Amino acid sequence: MKSMKMMQRAQAGFTLIELMIVIAIIGILAAIAIPQYQDYVTRAKWQENIVSMEPIKLAIAECAQNNSGDLTLCDTAAKIGVTLPTPKYGSALTMTPTTAAINVTGTATVGSFTLVMTPTVNPTNISWAVSGTCTKAKCGITPG
């Protein structure tokens, strides 16, 4: 009976090795989670740049529709009747003459990537090709 009480008292806490194993596991999980979290934050910030392009895309689509699909009549902000905004995490939006492509370069906060959205007029709609140095992991949108 006395030895049973001694054994229960001896096993009342965690050993040093058990605590070190738990700390090592937490460290490994943190090493994996922190870079993933940073990519998630960057993607969320890039969405503001992408959202700022949406009114311009709509104006280009409307202009192309009104001009029988001729994008050369819709390739500047003046021709589509809008002011190009400056997104919070990017340079001022620009448009490429003759193609009406919308360009934005992210700030250093979001990796200084570039994103170009180029319209193509189809018989029933306008499709947008995405190109630039953004990747899905960093910008949340797949170029190509």
Provide the percentage of residues in the chain whose pLDDT is more than 70: 92
**Distance between CA atoms of 31 and 35, rounded to whole angstroms?**
7
Q: Above 70 in pLDDT, residue 8?
A: no
State the average pLDDT for the chain. Answer: 89
Encode pLDDT of 88-140 as tens digits. Answer: 999 999 999 999 999 999 999 998 999 999 999 999 899 999 999 988 878 88
pLDDT for residue 72 is more than 90 = yes
More confident residue, 88 or 142: 88
> What pTM did the predictor assign?
0.77
Q: Residues with Cβ < 8 Å from 89, sequence gap 6 or more?
A: 45, 46, 48, 49, 106, 107, 109, 110
pLDDT at 60: 96
pLDDT for 141 equals 84
Give the pLDDT band of residue 13 (cuts 50, 70, 90).
confident
Given this model, what pLDDT does residue 39 score?
87
Each residue's pLDDT tens digit, 40-60: 999 999 999 999 999 999 999
Checking if the pLDDT of 36 tops 60, the result is yes
Per residue, the 3-state secondary structure of 67-136, as one string, reads: CCCCHHHCCCHHHHCCCCCCCCCECCCEEECCCCEEEEEECHHHCCCEEEEEEEECCCCEEEEEEECCCH
Which has the higher per-residue pLDDT, 142 or 82? 82
